[in-house]
Amino acid sequence: MARSLFRLGGEACGWGCTAAWCRAPVAPACHLAPTGDAGKPRLVASRRAEDLPVSQTGAGRDRATANHAGAHGPAVRGWCPDAWRPMAAGDGLIVRVKPRLGRLSADDLAALGEAAIAHGNGLIDMTRRANLQIRGVRDDSWRPLLDRLLDLGLVDHDARREGARMMMVAPDWREGDDSHRIARQLLDRLDELPDLPGKMGFVIDAGAAPLLPGEAGDFRIERARDGGLILRAEGRAQGVPVDSGREVDALLALARWFVESDGARAGRMARHDAPLPDWATGTTEAAAPRPRPVPGAWDGGMAYGLPFGRIDARHLLDAPAMRLTPWRMLLAEGQLPGLCADAADPLIHVEACPGAPACPQASVETRDLARQLAPHVAGRLHVSGCAKGCASSMPADVVLTGRDGRYDLAFHARAGSAPVRPDLTATDLLAHFGAC
Ligand code: SF4
């Protein structure tokens, strides 16, 4: 077995999951899996509580909620799902698709949209790692959906390689530029990667200046102030220059060092406090970041904001090729009528997780309230169903955090920050912001 990921008969699971209901051992790729279950989805625990692993049976649902949501606050998981390892949510399985180089052709998008309608509930979410998630997939639809995605080449036939393909690329790359070149080379060498903790990923940010400095990643290639490229370990302010053509060698070497220096114990590069080896230690600063694209025209077409990061799969059926971003925005290589290209639209400035009832950890509704408040809030609004703050880890101008069926109000803060006004109802908030 490529990774010792699954628990069987009391054996500890490599994901850290100890839930008795876990069906992960049915994984077709897991040699520990009992026979006769091949073809069933591997349900695995979600790192996002909105997608808590809820068994499709009622009893399992209760156990899952008890074990993972808990009574003591939101659960945090140490890995990400993918198409081979769907996760269960309140509306069915979620199947994640990780487009190579963050781009999907028009044909890919049409096929993906059709598959989401045929096998899911027709809703697709963008993730903060610039991936897509097909929602509402039934147990008996997962395998046909996976087969379709394999046929399309959107998912790797090797489940391990699919899992290892955790990569974010500056979304405005051009054919043959440094980001494109390095990302292609890394894709070609995924088999050389050691087994890494499940959430770890690579960031290839080699445009004229960085675009992704605050986005999730562990091993980074970034543009330096002097115009060269640097290798930078997440959590370290500076990096080390890397020769052109040797970037992937450097990334692989840093990943191997992470494993050999017991980084798996920390789980992420930023938490791994072992001194970097000399060859990875440098004092070179990344260049000042470029401004992100905003909804409207961009160099390659039109950028569209997706309120709450969600799109109806029908929009994809006639879409031009698109780049995915971690900012709930699509960079279309053309026009896509029906989506928001207006940077002034209030909903573009709102973050809201699914909240109740979709998420078992939420005690409050989120998105309807966010829609109502958005036109009345100056700056960024974040409505979070609980203190975990899945929708955004960044501070917002106005933050509402659900707690025990009410909302805590804070300003210039993150979800879960100490409130200025605690225990408010939705009616209180609508009145406070003049929305009713
Ligand atoms: S932030 Fe929202 S989605 Fe995340 S666990 Fe809390 S309620 Fe669920």
pLDDT 10s digits, 245-288: 999 999 999 999 999 999 999 999 999 999 999 999 999 999 99
Q: In this predicted structure, what is the pLDDT of residue 398?
A: 97
Query: Which atom of ligand 1 is least distant from the CA of 402?
Result: 7
Q: For residue 78, what pLDDT is reported?
A: 56
**What is the model's pLDDT at position 80?**
74
How far apart are the CA of 280 and the centre of ligand 1, in A?
37
Summarize pLDDT for 70-86 with one digit per residue, the tens.
333 444 455 578 999 99
Question: What average pLDDT does the structure give for the chain?
Answer: 84
> 175 pairs with which residues across the strands?
none
Measured in Å, residue 70 CA sits from the centre of ligand 1 at: 13
User: Could you say which DSSP state residue 144 is in?
Assistant: H
Asked if residue 384 has its Cβ within 6 Å of ligand 1, the reply is yes
Gap from CA of 127 to ligand 1 centroid (Å): 14
Q: How many CB atoms lie within 10 A of CB 144?
A: 14
Ligand 1 mutation target, pool 135, 351, 353, 408, most atoms within 8 A of CB: 353
Rounded average pLDDT over 3-12: 30
Whether residue 89 contacts residue 50, with contact meaning beta carbons closer than 8 Å, is answered with: yes
> Can you give the pLDDT at residue 79?
59
Question: 412: CA distance to ligand 1 center in Å?
Answer: 19
Q: How far are the Cα atoms of 33, 203, 327 from residue 303, in angstroms, in the given order?
A: 44, 21, 11
As a whole number of angstroms, the distance between CA 39 and CA 142 comes to: 9
Q: Which of 28-42, 105-119, 384-398 has the highest mean pLDDT?
A: 105-119
Measured from the CA of 391, which atom of ligand 1 is nearest?
A: 1
Give the residue, by CA position, lying nearest to ligand 1 atom 3: 50
> Between 95 and 45, where is the model more confident?
95
Q: Best of 94, 363, 369, 388 to mutate for ligand 1, by most ligand atoms within 8 A of CB?
A: 388
Of 11 and 149, more confident: 149
Asked if residue 75 has its Cβ within 6 Å of ligand 1, the reply is no
**Rounded to the nearest 10 degrees, how much is the dihedral formed by the CA atoms of 227, 230, 235, 236?**
-90
Q: Is the pLDDT confidence value at 349 over 70?
A: yes
pLDDT above 90 coverage of the chain, percent: 75
Question: Which atom of ligand 1 sits closest to the CA of residue 388?
Answer: 1
d(CA 278, CA 331): 39
Question: Residue 31: its pLDDT value, please?
Answer: 30
Q: What is the pLDDT of residue 48?
A: 38
> Phi/psi zone of residue 267: left (φ > 0), alpha (ψ -120 to 50 degrees), beta?
left
| CA 355–ligand 1 middle distance (angstroms) | 6
At position 423, the amino acid (one-letter code) is D
Cβ–ligand 1 distance for 388 under 6 Å, the answer yes
Task: Calculate how far, in angstroms, residue 135's C-alpha sits from the geometric centre of ligand 1.
Answer: 17
- Residue 357: predicted pLDDT: 84
pLDDT tens digits for 139-187?
Answer: 999 999 999 999 999 999 999 999 999 999 999 999 999 999 999 999 9
325 C-alpha vs ligand 1 centroid, how far in Å? 21
Tell whether ligand 1 has an atom less than 6 A from the beta carbon of residue 45: no
Of ligand 1's atoms, which has the minimum distance to the CA of residue 49?
A: 5
Rounded CA separation 162/85 (Å) = 10
Question: How far is the C-alpha of 19 from the C-alpha of 67, rounded, in Å?
Answer: 6
**Span 352-372, average pLDDT:** 91
Set out the domains of the chain in order of their start, with CATH numbers: 173-280 (no CATH), 346-432 (3.30.413.10)
Q: Percent of the chain scored above 70 by pLDDT?
A: 82
Residue with CA closest to ligand 1 atom 5? 49
Report the helix count and the strand count for the chain, using DSSP H and E.
Answer: 8, 20
Cα(389) to ligand 1 centroid in Å equals 6
- Tell me the CA–centroid distance for residue 388 and ligand 1, in Å: 6
CA-nearest residue for atom 2, ligand 1, is 385
What pLDDT sits at residue 77? 54
- H-helix or E-strand spanning residue 221: strand 219-223
| pLDDT surpasses 70 at 341 | yes
Position 2 scores a pLDDT of 31
For residue 82 and ligand 1, the question of a CB distance below 6 A is answered with: no
Q: By CB neighbour count within 10 A (0-12 exposed, 13-18 middle, 19+ buried), where does 185 fall? A: middle
Q: Which of 135, 290, 268 minimizes the C-alpha distance to 199?
A: 268
Cα angle for residues 432, 401, 313 (degrees, 5° grid):
100
Compute, in angstroms, the gap from residue 431 CA to the centroid of ligand 1. 25
